[in-house]
Amino acid sequence: MWAAVLLACLSGCWAQYDPHTEPKRTSIVHLFEWRWADVAAECERYLAPHGFGAVQISPPNEHIVLNQPWRPWWERYQPISYKLCSRSGTEEEFRDMVTRCNNVGVRIYADVVINHMCGASGGSGNHSSCGTYFNAGAEDFPGVPYSSWDFNDGKCHTASGNIENYNDVNQVRDCRLVSLLDLALQKEYVRGKIAEYLNHLLALGVAGFRVDACKHMWPGDMAAIFSQLTTLNTRWFSPGTKPFIYQEVIDLGGEPIKSSQYFRLGRVTEFKYGAKLGTVVRRWNGEKMAYLRNWGEGWAFMPSDRALVFVDNHDNQRGQGAGGASILTFWDPRLYKVAVAFMLAHPYGQTRIMSSYRWDRKFVNGKDVNDWVGPPSYPDGTTKPVTLRPDTTCGNGWVCEHRWRQIRNMAIFRNVVGEEPLMNWWDNGRNQIAFGRGARGFIAINNDDWNMAMTLQTGLPPGTYCDVISGQKEGDHCTGLQLTVNACGNAVFQISSSAQDPMVAIHVRDKL
Ligand code: AAO
């Protein structure tokens, strides 16, 4: 009896913090705007073989279709109904993706937009991804159905009806975020419709949710919705397993709404992480890599077991959302790889890797006026497939950061070191740092303008190791540099400041 209660609790009570990934698969990759057919193929051909844990997909529900001037990426954040047809594909393709990814042990987390429907000026007609009629002006969404009774207008007291002041909690949660029609989540009917949508996704095999715009929803309303959720599909998960939940809350300090107000519901995005790490790696504001010694809670971040961390996300990689100019992205590849490698080597938080597409950046007075540009697409607006080049990188405008050797190999590093503690920290007081993870892995980074040459205690068993930044182990040899750890655990690290990637990382799996 007690054993049964305990078992139910193990899979249920804390499940909202647990990513439900397979053992030794630790990272999430956000395949931003990918088609379901491409995600399915990527799970089988790349993510499973290289030990990625899960994929965050773009919102799967029906959304508005906008030609202003041409299909922005953010139309996916303007729901029209909860039917599963979107720019990424049909419900059939969605089912196929979830099944195939789960079959190879890669989890799918859906980005769910439940705070609002489309913008107030979204017009009326059937310009939506499944062609369902709606009327934004009349707040009529027959595809759900929602009517004007299901929106918050009466509760909002700003002149514009929009959020005007982030210091007023009632406004932030009861008014419209950038004019998006704000759902009345206190209504049982609305809660029920949202729970029905999320349960449909769970039934198909989805393992968790990235919940959009949580700052704009009352935690009590969210709790009422989550309490109606079913457990995960037992075809792939043990009975009674509750979904993994991570909530988008931008809390850089200075506003009354805090991340901590959402901890009981699940993990929360830690936006300070990418903003601060970008500042340190760029060496702005007098920051130094040496200061990373107490990275994590020591930097006033949320507790590690509540944090979802990332170097950049789909908003701040194009100057939106939060973080500002310090955010590192694929546009700065050398420093970006340093930041991502540090994140994946460091024990703090649940890590998420960004996978982007290129767009034609055009800066006017410091702002990218093309920040709206949608995924690579054909003249008729359909998204282009992700093609592969002979060197395994992606074509058709897809960046595929997760396929960059340095990033992919550091995701494997994280799997290999597991829960081992951070040990043997070393720094030169400036921008050369090194640290290990128990007796399983060690990384050294030289972000100074002069060469590094140091003998360091790695904590690793003696032997010859392949550097997983410049290459990896293949058969009985290293494709890149190799390093010798002596009988006392010491190794010599020589990293030129002009190296293509100014870092070296070794772990026990790639020992010769
Ligand atoms: C589009 C158009 C709008 C139009 C609307 C409706 O751009 O002009 O009115 O349609 O027709 C995405 C796009 C939006 C787009 C929307 C709908 O980003 O441009 O609007 O789809 O298509 C806030 C929210 C946060 C949100 C973020 C972008 O709190 O939840 O804005 N992120 C999510 C998604 C995002 C999506 C939505 C939500 C909506 O990831 O992709 O929008 O579904 C402060 C606040 C933050 C606030 C930012 C807004 O941040 O703290 O809570 O985020 O402002 O910029 C310093 C501060 C930092 C501050 C920051 C920025 O860093 O420390 O706190 O500056 O000022």
Please tell me the distance from the alpha carbon of residue 417 to that of residue 348, in angstroms, as a whole number: 13
Please tell me the distance from the alpha carbon of residue 249 to that of residue 260, in angstroms, as a whole number: 10
Residue 345 CB less than 6 A away from ligand 1 = no
Task: Please indicate whether residue 248 is annotated as part of the active site.
Answer: yes
Residue 32 CB less than 6 A away from ligand 1 = no
If you measure from the C-alpha of residue 72 to the centroid of ligand 1, how many angstroms do you get, rounded to a whole number? 14
pLDDT digits (tens), the chain, 512 positions: 445 444 445 445 677 999 999 999 999 999 999 999 999 999 999 999 999 999 999 999 999 999 877 899 999 999 999 999 999 999 999 999 999 999 999 999 999 999 999 999 999 999 999 999 999 999 999 999 999 999 999 999 999 999 999 999 999 999 999 999 999 999 999 999 999 999 999 999 999 999 999 999 999 999 999 999 999 999 999 999 999 999 999 999 999 999 999 999 999 999 999 999 999 999 999 999 999 999 999 999 999 999 999 999 999 999 998 888 999 999 999 999 999 999 999 999 999 999 999 999 999 998 999 999 999 999 999 999 999 999 999 999 999 999 999 999 999 999 999 999 999 999 999 999 999 999 999 999 999 999 999 999 999 999 999 999 999 999 999 999 999 999 999 999 999 999 999 999 999 999 99
Quote the strand ranges of 171-313, DSSP E: 180-182, 208-211, 244-247, 267-269, 307-309
Catalytic residue among 212, 221, 251, 287: 212
pLDDT of residue 69: 74
Catalytic residue among 38, 42, 93, 248: 248
Helix, strand or coil, per DSSP, at residue 218: coil
Ligand 1 pocket test target in 216, 261, 320, 372 with most atoms within 8 Å of CB: 320
Residue 178 CB less than 6 A away from ligand 1 = yes
pLDDT of residue 14: 74
Task: Print burial letters for 159-185: b (CB count within 10 Å at least 16), e (below 16).
Answer: eebbbeeeebeebbbbbbbebbbbbbb
Please tell me the distance from the alpha carbon of residue 293 to that of residue 429, in angstroms, as a whole number: 10
Please tell me the distance from the alpha carbon of residue 470 to that of residue 472, in angstroms, as a whole number: 7
Please tell me the distance from the alpha carbon of residue 142 to that of residue 23, in angstroms, as a whole number: 43
CA atoms within a 13 Å half-sphere pointing along the CA-CB vector of 12: 13
pLDDT of residue 1: 44
If you measure from the C-alpha of residue 129 to the centroid of ligand 1, how many angstroms do you get, rounded to a whole number? 22
Ligand 1 pocket test target in 116, 168, 175, 178 with most atoms within 8 Å of CB: 178
If you measure from the C-alpha of residue 289 to the centroid of ligand 1, how many angstroms do you get, rounded to a whole number? 30
Q: Which two tokens stand for residue 498?
A: 């002009």
> Using CA positions, which residue lies closest to atom 63 of ligand 1?
252
pLDDT of residue 2: 47
> Using CA positions, which residue lies closest to atom 4 of ligand 1?
178
> For residues 106 and 52, is the Cβ–Cβ distance under 8 A?
yes
Q: Which residues, in sequence order, are bridge partners of residue 109?
A: 56, 208
Residue 185 CB less than 6 A away from ligand 1 = no
DSSP 8-state assignment for residue 486: -
| Listed residue (18, 2, 508, 470) closest to 267, CA to CA | 18
Please tell me the distance from the alpha carbon of residue 505 to that of residue 443, in angstroms, as a whole number: 4
Q: Which atom of ligand 1 is nearest to the CA of 64?
A: 22
Please tell me the distance from the alpha carbon of residue 120 to that of residue 123, in angstroms, as a whole number: 8
Please tell me the distance from the alpha carbon of residue 491 to that of residue 284, in angstroms, as a whole number: 31
Q: Which value, to the nearest 10 degrees, does the dihedral of the CA atoms of residues 95, 114, 247, 269 take?
A: 100
CA distances (Å), origin 447, targets 243, 431, 496: 40, 5, 10
Please tell me the distance from the alpha carbon of residue 312 to that of residue 131, in angstroms, as a whole number: 33
Q: Which residues, in sequence order, are bridge partners of residue 64?
A: 128
Any idea what the Cα angle at residue 138 is, between residues 129 and 190, rounded to 5°? 70
Taking each continuous run of H as one helix and of E as one strand, the counts in the chain are: 9, 24
Any idea what the Cα angle at residue 314 is, between residues 165 and 290, rounded to 5°? 90
If you measure from the C-alpha of residue 321 to the centroid of ligand 1, how many angstroms do you get, rounded to a whole number? 5
Given the DSSP bridges, would you call strands 350-355 and 363-364 parallel, antiparallel or unpaired?
unpaired
Amino acid type, 422: L
Q: Which atom of ligand 1 is nearest to the CA of 77?
A: 43
| Listed residue (252, 249, 181) closest to 215, CA to CA | 249
DSSP 8-state assignment for residue 175: S
Given the DSSP bridges, would you call strands 432-437 and 422-427 parallel, antiparallel or unpaired?
antiparallel
Residue 158 CB less than 6 A away from ligand 1 = no
If you measure from the C-alpha of residue 286 to the centroid of ligand 1, how many angstroms do you get, rounded to a whole number? 29
Please tell me the distance from the alpha carbon of residue 23 to that of residue 26, in angstroms, as a whole number: 8
pLDDT of residue 12: 58
If you measure from the C-alpha of residue 380 to the centroid of ligand 1, how many angstroms do you get, rounded to a whole number? 28
> For residues 427 and 443, is the Cβ–Cβ distance under 8 A?
no
pLDDT of residue 5: 46
Match 């909202």 to its residue by tokens.
16
Within 10 A of 57 (CB to CB), how many other CB atoms are there? 25
Please tell me the distance from the alpha carbon of residue 150 to that of residue 189, in angstroms, as a whole number: 8
> Using CA positions, which residue lies closest to atom 12 of ligand 1?
74
Quote the strand ranges of 356-440, DSSP E: 363-364, 367-368, 422-427, 432-437
Amino acid type, 352: R
Residue 248 CB less than 6 A away from ligand 1 = yes
Residue 320 CB less than 6 A away from ligand 1 = yes
